[in-house]
Amino acid sequence: MDFSESPRVATIVRTVREFVKEELLPIEPQLARQGFPALLPVLREKRERARQTGLWAGHLPEEHGGAGLSLTEFAHMSEELGRTPIGHYVFNCQAPDVGNMEILIEHGTPEQKAQFLGPLVRGEVRSCFTMTEPEFAGSNPVWMGTTARKDAGDWVIRGHKWFSSGMDGSAFAICMAVTNPDAEPHARASMILVPTSTPGFELVGNLSVMGHRGGDWASHAEVSYQDARVPLGNLLGGEGMGFVVAQQRLGPGRIHHCMRWIGICERALDLMCRHAATRLLAPGKPLGTKQIVQQWIAESRAEIHAARLMVLHAAWTIEQKGPVEAREEISLIKFTVARTLQRVVDRAIQALGGLGMTDDTPLAFWYAHERAARIYDGADEVHIEAVARRILRRYGIQIG
């Protein structure tokens, strides 16, 4: 297993790093002051420039309009994009669209690909994913109340969803709904494509998360399905395959998240080191002369390096053996990197003091909005338990 950078990866990293530095970091203050929706005209211009790099939708095969990067190659790209809150959006590889593109490629019919996938890959529209429900524990994904019944050639969907990221301004949703209530738990739900213009599809409102409602892609929404009707042909994948398709989506998706988090960590460490080198505690005595600050820097460097190697190993395992065989590696990185992210950002804020609490750097934004890293895509505790069970099974202990 060789984790050294190939010439191709080195070129990708260099291209993206320069783009982020020259095109995106300068507009972060405007993002902090005015919010994401106000920045959309500027971001449209940046997206066109990103397209010209040849790395647009880097996660997708070339025949579907992407750059055709392997999972490990895209992992390196994702880290570089993660250095800014808008990096992935500008290159059209942002969540939840990235996962929706992948499952449409794998499971979409030709008609679905023409109607939904094509515009999504071209960056003409965005999408969302409606699965989590406020009335049911997100840690048990097969338990939900939203239903879809067949009626006169249509699916009629009724239910309540929340934390539907990026729903505000999206063109369509992928809805997880129970279509086979009498089947075994993992075969009850299906995925259904629902244009957001459908009568009965209602944006209740953007959720206030850590004091911010956000807007457009940078938001999380509460959604109500009030007998929303869509054709039976909008079923994505087979009936009752919702959970199976969702699991296929989550494996690579967790790689994407984890490498984005490492990019955040690298930016946070850079901000901490720059501040430590320039902030004077007294004439001729920079903050970096304090041993505790040196410890924060060294520990962060070690933890980021270890986390990166774990994620690249997980990506390599998925490529070699598939996501099912890589379940343990995927669970390990999910809780390990999320915790690394939280520790590194917290240290950086502590080192910057009052500056770290302001929006003059992205640290406060990440501290608020990335705390959820330990919750979404499976809470830390769920992954920890799953890893422990698999390990103990090898020692002859069956749990649950």
Which pLDDT does position 315 carry in this prediction?
Answer: 92
**One domain, residues 270 and 306:** yes
Q: Quick check: 377 pLDDT over 90? A: no
Tell me the pLDDT band of 323, cut-offs 50, 70 and 90.
Answer: confident
- pTM of the predicted structure, to 2 decimals: 0.94
At 288 the pLDDT is: 97
Dig out the tokens for 356 from the structure.
């770290």
Are 90 and 220 within one domain?
A: no
- Of 272, 295, 284, nearest in space to 352 by CA: 272
Taking only the tens place, the pLDDT of each residue in 97-134 is 999 999 999 999 999 999 999 999 999 999 999 999 99
**Sorting pLDDT into bands at 50, 70 and 90, what band is 2?**
low
* Domain CATH number, residue 200: 2.40.110.10
The distance from CA 317 to its chain's CA centroid, rounded to whole angstroms, is: 20
Above 60 in pLDDT, residue 3?
A: no
Question: What is the distance between the alpha carbons of residues 112 and 255, in angstroms, rounded to a whole number?
Answer: 26
Query: Domain ends where: 236, 270, 299?
Result: 236
Residue ending a domain, choose from 179, 209, 236: 236
* Contact call for residues 255 and 311 (beta carbons, < 8 A): yes
Residue 1 binned pLDDT confidence (cut-offs 50, 70, 90): low
- 89 token code pair: 């959006």
Closest CA to 177 of 137, 148, 143, 214: 148
Cβ atoms within 10 Å, residue 51: 16
Q: What is the mean pLDDT of residues 265-277?
A: 98
Residue 141 DSSP SS3: coil
CATH number of the structural domain spanning residue 387: 1.20.140.10
322 is a domain residue: yes
What's the mean per-residue pLDDT of the chain? 95
| Statement to judge: residues 231 and 248 lie in one domain | no
Is residue 41 domain-shared with residue 165, that is, in the same domain?
A: no
> What CATH number should be reported for the domain holding residue 34?
1.10.540.10
Task: Give the burial class of 181: count Cβ atoms within 10 A of its Cβ; 0-12 exposed, 13-18 middle, 19 or more buried.
Answer: exposed
Query: How far, in Å, are 86, 307, 312, 318 from residue 330 at the CA level?
Result: 25, 12, 11, 9
Structural domain of 153: 127-236
H/E stretch holding 224 reads strand 220-231
The pLDDT of 167-181, averaged and rounded, is 97
